[in-house]
Amino acid sequence: MKISYKWLKEYVDINVTPEKLAELLTMHSFEIEEIIYQGKGLENVVVGEVLEKEKHPDADKLSVVKVKINSKEISEIVCGAPNIDVGQKVLVAKLGAEIPCGLKIEKRKVRGVESSGMVCAEDELGLGENHEGIMVLDEKSKIGTLAQDILGLDDVIFEIDILPNRAHDCLSHLGVAREVAVLLESKIKNQKSNMDLRISNSSKELEVKIKNEELCRRYSAVIINSVKIKESPSWLKNRLESCDIRSINNIVDITNFVMLSIGQPIHAFDADKLNGKIIVRNAKKGEKIVSLDENKYELTENDLVIADEKNPIAIAGVMGGLETAVDENTKNIIFEAANFQGTNIRKTSSRLKLSSESSYRFEREIDPEIITSAIEMAVNLTKELSSGDIKDGVIDIYPSPEKRRNIKFNFSRIENLLGIEIEKEKVFSILTSLGFEVSQNDDEIEVLIPTFRRDVEKANDIIEEIGRINGYEMIEEVFANVPMKSVIQDKTLLMEKDIRKTLEGLGFFEVYNYSFLGEKEISGVQLKIEDHLELQNPLSEEFMFMRTSLLPDLLNNTRDNLKHRDSFKLFELGRIYLKDSKDNVDERKILSGIMVNKNQKETLFYNTKEQLKLILEKIGINRLSYGKIENSESFWHKGRSAKILSKKKVIGKIGEIHPIVLNNFDLSSRVVYFEIYIEELVNFYGEIKKYQKINKFPEVELDLSVVFDESVQWGEIKKAINSASNNLIQGVEPFDIYRGENLGENKKSIAFRISYQAEDRTLTDEEVKVVQDKIIDKLEKLGGEVRK
């Protein structure tokens, strides 16, 4: 909220600079987001009178004027404005001025004539857009007066971030002034109350009925007759403008002024436009009202309205009706000051998408007690600015007045919570200055809370007040003296960190993508929309569903980055959000990665596979097998993909992405993708490694080359070889695969190296030959033919 420094000064004496005040408020109350100096740049701009005007000797459109800028000084200035004339009172930027448009005024020659200053136009002073000509002031303006003073721009405005729990009492100058008074150890000035209003729950002129006392706790109204609607005086306009509120007319301005002063929204009706009494009631279903913004709103039974005997005349607490609005012909007005329940106002305002300064405040639950002073202030101002008189008094319906809360707690609790000892006298003076009434019984402190502090409900709320006013900077840092326990960190998180480190070592880039996807991405990878959790209020079509796969965005990343490089590896370790049969959320953690390399076609899959193997080995998963992926996920290239199993559990998948899917993402290079299910890995992780004796006996390596049908997979061959001996075969690695006409169609020749080793002896040639023959036998059973 914007708070005026000058306005604050009407409530409390301020003996510090605006900067110091802003710092105090920031450290003890609310953050000051900005300090706006209204007259900034106008320090050297004064009122001057044009004494003489002559044409510039060398330029048609310029004139040379003599301007008197104080009782002694006359400046000669070259001016281009067509409207300048002798006798005018104008604003002159003196030498040395740095005016808001950025110009620095110096002595300089304009077409050979020396100019000492500048006569200013509106835009040059930051006062508006107008550059038609110079600003001409009222002829009564006094020569030499500072522009800031004549324009009323001598205020400093604070943009204050009022905290939500203090909005009920601090969205006003009085509220902020109360804080200032506490911080400066000063007092709120007594507000003059020079009139005795008769207040009662009935009035001869006006009848008010509250039909829903839960939603309207209090309703006050007063009729003022024979008012004169006119423009507000400049002091009032300036006050409103300093808070960014536009001046309308004296009566409307008074309502806004009261609200900005003490925080109570009030409304003025044209009394002659009402039909009978005022009724505060729930709207009827489908009831309509045109409000001051000239829009028509259809109401529901949940909305509260102010009505006369025929129609609703205001959406309670949100906005008044257009039909009963005050206009230039209004003679008699009714001021309404009421208290509405915040939650209800909030619902109505958000449903109608209609908010106002009034609804903003009511939503935050205002103190019903401040209504009396609001009415009084409005009446006083109306009498002052618009004459008018009151025949009868104020009608005030207030069935259950607000009670003050009483909170007791042990004095030691202050130190127990804040960790600092504060003297009793200090505690008392802080609480008293905040308007709390304090009493003491032995070690117990009892605090009576003023009605305007609706946020203070418990002991800790009061201790917070003591802590912040005393200053958090007074609290020393002290290490907690809490019993220590050993901390065993979460296994999954540790494993994730290991996985990330391995991936980093292998040259992968980690990416973070958003959790939401659009229909286009989902159908792009041929997943089903109905399997996705949908948002009620998405930001846009692109972010309508929660992702069930990291693939779509990784493909987007791949496409975007292929514009800049030919090969890279990406991974993301994050969550996917599945939907179970009961429509509940089933979150899973997943590691997904992509490898792409424009120069690798046949080897890319195998390269990726080896990297993945290494990652899994690093976290303790050594024995992998591969199987066929079920048809349900059609984004895989069926001939080049596999699920990965360990101990018969599917722990992930790897494969090329189908070209149809790649097309959907404008990709033409082959892409190998993998996904690993983190939850499935955790059981393998953290197993303690067992040392095995280093084998000292020599290893024998023998190569074989065998011709097989294409359909025979390496996995089967390897399994057959390994089955030939329990303990002598140390390893089998293929090193060449050959296809050629001499082998025949659908045949391949695989060459591989088998290493033999025993744990307890050097193997003899005979022993190796026995195993080798057994292997050949097994391979022939698979249809293999050993090449000699």
Partner 1 sequence: MKNQINDIKNRALGEIGKVKTFEEVEVLRVKYSGRKSELTNLLRGLKDLSPKERKKMGELSNQTKRVIENELEKKELEIKNEELSYIDEKEKIDVTCPGEKLEKGHLHPLTQIRYDIEEIFKSMGFLVVDDREVEDEFHNFDALNIPKNHPARDMQDTFWLKNGSVPRTHTSSVQVRFMENNKPPFRIIVPGRVYRNENSDATHDYNFHQVEGLMVAKSGEITVANSKSIISEFMKGLFGEGTKVRLRPSYFPFVEPGFEFDASCPYCKGEGCRICKGCGWIELGGAGMVNQNVFTSVGLTEDEFEGFAFGFGIERLAMIKYGIDDIRLFHAGDLRFLEQF
User: Minimum Å distance from CB 343 to partner 1?
Assistant: 4
Minimum CB distance to partner 1 smaller for 184 or for 770: 184
What 3-state DSSP class applies to 568?
strand
**Cα 576 from chain centroid (whole Å):** 24
The residues in 319-378 that bind partner 1, with binding defined as CB under 8 A, are 342-343, 346-347, 363-364
User: Minimum Å distance from CB 413 to partner 1?
Assistant: 8
Q: What does the chain come to in residues?
A: 788
Contact with partner 1 (CB under 8 A): which of 20, 104, 200, 472? 472
The residues in 253-282 that bind partner 1, with binding defined as CB under 8 A, are none
CA angle 714, 642, 636 (to 5 degrees): 135
User: Minimum Å distance from CB 741 to partner 1?
Assistant: 36
The residues in 584-603 that bind partner 1, with binding defined as CB under 8 A, are 584-585, 587
User: Minimum Å distance from CB 709 to partner 1?
Assistant: 38
Q: Which of 216, 471, 231 is nearest to 362 (CA)?
A: 216
Contact with partner 1 (CB under 8 A): which of 2, 6, 26, 755? 26
User: Minimum Å distance from CB 468 to partner 1?
Assistant: 4
CA angle 272, 275, 276 (to 5 degrees): 105
Minimum CB distance to partner 1 smaller for 417 or for 770: 417
Q: Which residues contact 418 (CB under 8 A, 6 or more apart)?
A: 463, 466, 467, 475
Q: Does 565 bind partner 1 (CB under 8 A)?
A: yes
User: Minimum Å distance from CB 133 to partner 1?
Assistant: 38
For residues 46 and 75, is the Cβ–Cβ distance under 8 A?
no
The residues in 660-719 that bind partner 1, with binding defined as CB under 8 A, are none
The residues in 506-525 that bind partner 1, with binding defined as CB under 8 A, are 506-516
User: Minimum Å distance from CB 493 to partner 1?
Assistant: 6
The residues in 408-447 that bind partner 1, with binding defined as CB under 8 A, are 415-420
Minimum CB distance to partner 1 smaller for 335 or for 508: 508
Q: What is the DSSP string of 402-424?
A: ----EEEEETHHHHHHHSS---H
Q: What is the DSSP string of 425-491?
A: HHHHHHHHHTT-EEEEETTEEEEEPPTT-TT--SHHHHHHHHHHHH-GGGSPP-------------H
Beta bridge partners of 34: 159
User: Minimum Å distance from CB 1 to partner 1?
Assistant: 15
Contact with partner 1 (CB under 8 A): which of 87, 102, 164, 639? 164
Q: Does 529 bind partner 1 (CB under 8 A)?
A: no
User: Minimum Å distance from CB 488 to partner 1?
Assistant: 8
Distance in angstroms (rounded) separating the CA atoms of residues 301 and 291: 18
Q: Does 195 bind partner 1 (CB under 8 A)?
A: no
The residues in 480-499 that bind partner 1, with binding defined as CB under 8 A, are 480-485, 487-490, 492-493, 497
* Total residues at interface with partner 1 (CB under 8 A): 94
What 3-state DSSP class applies to 333?
strand
Distance in angstroms (rounded) separating the CA atoms of residues 213 and 399: 8
Distance in angstroms (rounded) separating the CA atoms of residues 783 and 708: 6
Burial of 60 (0-12, 13-18, 19+ CB in 10 A): exposed
User: Minimum Å distance from CB 159 to partner 1?
Assistant: 14
Minimum CB distance to partner 1 smaller for 286 or for 483: 483
Q: Which stretch binds partner 1 (CB under 8 A): 157-165, 321-329, 711-719, 773-781?
A: 157-165
Contact with partner 1 (CB under 8 A): which of 116, 356, 557, 646? 557
Distance in angstroms (rounded) separating the CA atoms of residues 238 and 242: 6
User: Minimum Å distance from CB 543 to partner 1?
Assistant: 7
Q: Does 566 bind partner 1 (CB under 8 A)?
A: no
Q: Which stretch binds partner 1 (CB under 8 A): 61-69, 239-247, 329-337, 472-480?
A: 472-480
User: Minimum Å distance from CB 558 to partner 1?
Assistant: 9
Two tokens at 301? 């039974």
Minimum CB distance to partner 1 smaller for 334 or for 431: 431
Q: Does 552 bind partner 1 (CB under 8 A)?
A: no
Alpha carbon of 591 to those of 86, 257, 528, 661: distances in Å?
81, 60, 21, 20
Q: Which residues contact 519 (CB under 8 A, 6 or more apart)?
A: 529, 541, 544, 545
Question: Phi-psi bin for 144: left (phi > 0), alpha (psi -120 to 50), beta?
Answer: left
Contact with partner 1 (CB under 8 A): which of 47, 570, 654, 657? 570
Minimum CB distance to partner 1 smaller for 508 or for 708: 508
Minimum CB distance to partner 1 smaller for 673 or for 752: 673
Distance in angstroms (rounded) separating the CA atoms of residues 572 and 552: 12
